[in-house]
Amino acid sequence: MERGTPYQRIAAEIRDRITSGRLRPGDRIPSTRQISRDWGVAMATASKVIAALRDEGRVETRPGAGTVVRSADRAFTRAVPRERDLGRDQIVRAAITIAEGMPAVSMRRVATDLGVATMSLYRHVSGKDDLLLYMADAVVADETLSARPPAHWRECLEFLARLFWTTCRRHPWLAEVISVTRPRAAPNLMLYSEWSLTALRGLGLGVDDMMYIHLNLFGHVRGLALALQTEAGERQDTGMTNNEWMETQLAAFREIVASGRYPTMEYVVTQDFEQDLDVMFEFGLRLLLDGVEQRLPLLAER
């Protein structure tokens, strides 16, 4: 590779900040979005900058914190498996580790972390889509292996929704991998559906009612989990929590509502409201299940 390519020049600037002490161990380095914005380069170039610094051992990805300067006492070592010893589980776990701190996973990035040729991965995983599915199924398995859903239908659905929410909380990328409308077959993901639909089937409901209740509950959790992923990225980019960011928007909101066209919004922006996705999850879950419980006599007659 030529010296002086855009990603190398940007990497050199960030490297200088680290070696000069302007960026200290544990400090976050600019995110891919910040690099793209501040240096005027494509996101792919920004990703190469961070990958280059990571490969040099100068930075590391920490779940919940983003990419930070590596501590000097943590020598950079990469376990390099022999390709003949490489297995699908090893590839999947490496990809999960990458996904916890990056917006995207690529076959090339996983191969780099494992110290093997990219093509060697294809003997175990057919492509990125399958890799993402295996990743999703693996993190779900971590939660479901010891799970024992309650027997009562409502307690069972509450248990499953909270289990799914907890899994998405730990792995914000998960919600984007799974689909409401185009699900893919995976044993541990299917276990959620099996437990949920079994609880609803026990109420004597028809297939349509079973499926729509199940999919609405699933969609509730997934929709909020997508917001988790977005918020994690925005927090890394801006350094602000959601509530801190909202504070920066209040003046603009108040200027708009001052026109008198939005009396209710004018009232709302003057009140104290702290948006909490965990509270929103519980609130929505309660509304959905209360609605199901109220309609059960009507559904049973159909």
pLDDT at position 286: 95
Q: Whole-angstrom Cα distance, residue 19 to residue 17? A: 6
pLDDT at position 82: 56
pLDDT at position 158: 95
Domains and their CATH numbers in the chain: 6-69 (1.10.10.10), 83-125 (1.10.10.60), 149-239+272-301 (1.10.357.10)
Mean pLDDT per block of 10 residues along the chain (302 residues) reads 68 88 88 85 80 78 74 51 72 86 75 84 88 92 82 94 91 87 87 92 91 94 88 71 79 86 86 85 94 83 66
pLDDT at position 159: 94
The helix/strand count (H/E) of the chain reads as 14, 2
Tell me the DSSP string of 77-92. Answer: ------GGG--HHHHH
Q: Whole-angstrom Cα distance, residue 228 to residue 280? A: 12
Contact between 233 and 33 (Cβ < 8 Å)? yes
pTM of the model: 0.68
